[in-house]
Structure formats: C-alpha cells, structure tokens
C-alpha cells in the first residue's frame, strides 16, 4: 500500500550516517512502509553496544514502520540499541544531503534530535565506493 500523502520518499532512500560517522543506515522500503537498517558500524560503536547487551548492530532495523505524514516528513519507531529501547520517531528530509532524525520518549516529549548526512556513492554494505 502506498503512502496517501505525496512525499519525496525516493529522495529519502539511500545510505545515511550519524553525526559521529560511527553508524550508517540504509533507508529503504520494508513491506508496506519504510525502514532504516544498519549497513555499517565502526568498531567503537559495535563495542559500545556489546558492553550493555549481546546485540549486534549489523542488519539491525533502527527505523521501523515509518510512513509519510507530510511531503518531507515520516513518523514511525526508532530503536536505540545502546538503551535497548524503542521510541516514537520522526524523520524530516532537510535537503538532498541531510535529514533530521528525532526520537521521543512519549510523542513530542523528552526528545532528542540528530542531523544525519547522506553517504554519497555508498555500496550496499554502507561504505562509500
């Protein structure tokens, strides 16, 4: 089922890196919605996660069940692996090269935002070619 709101979904798809450059996720279609899957993580990011859990960042779905709520905005769930929790989330496409990712403990309450940057020419493994 397609999103009922016209969106720039095609521009959202691709590989994005967090502000530290320690995690790359690929935003792509997942069933009827949109998700973001970890395609690369630095050794430091993987080690930090292993301290608190036995999870592996590789192929972890950090963005889940996202659907359009506006032409440049999607809402769904954000998994924060080092906290082992899932929060309500929002992604807003700022321009072709950057997006704002936000996760909230409750909708619009106790939120944290980050600006993620597109990884140009990324391979399916998340590394720049």
Does 129 reside within a domain? no
Place 119 in a pLDDT band, splitting at 50, 70 and 90. Answer: very high
Report the candidate in 32, 31, 36 with the shortest Cα–Cα distance to residue 3: 32
What is the DSSP-derived secondary structure letter of residue 22? -
Does 124 reside within a domain? no
DSSP bridge pairs for 38: 25
What is the DSSP-derived secondary structure letter of residue 122? B
Give the structural domain span for 85.
Answer: 9-118
Does 127 reside within a domain? no
What pLDDT, on a 0 to 100 scale, did the predictor assign at position 52?
61
The more confidently predicted of residues 3 and 88 is: 88
Task: Write out pLDDT tens, residues 32-78.
Answer: 899 999 999 999 888 877 766 667 777 889 999 999 998 899 999 99
DSSP bridge pairs for 70: 73
DSSP letters along 25-67, please?
EEEEEETTEEEEEEEEE-HHHHHHHHHH-S---TT-EEEEEEE
Kindly state the average pLDDT of the residues 100-116.
89
Number of domains in the chain: 1
CATH code (residue 78): 2.40.128.520
Does 126 reside within a domain? no
Q: State pTM to two decimals.
A: 0.82
């Amino acid at each position: 089922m397609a999103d009922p709101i016209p969106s720039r979904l095609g521009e959202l798809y691709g590989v994005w890196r967090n502000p530290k450059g320690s995690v790359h996720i690929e935003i792509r279609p997942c069933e009827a919605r949109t998700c973001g899957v970890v395609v690369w993580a630095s050794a430091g990011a993987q080690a930090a996660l292993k301290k608190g859990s036995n999870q592996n960042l590789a192929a972890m779905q950090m963005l889940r069940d996202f659907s359009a709520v506006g032409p440049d905005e999607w809402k769904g769930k954000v998994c924060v692996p080092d906290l082992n929790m899932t929060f309500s989330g929002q992604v807003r496409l700022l321009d072709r090269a950057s997006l704002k990712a936000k996760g909230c403990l409750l909708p619009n309450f106790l939120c944290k935002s980050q600006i993620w940057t597109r990884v140009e020419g990324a391979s399916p493994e998340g590394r720049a070619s």
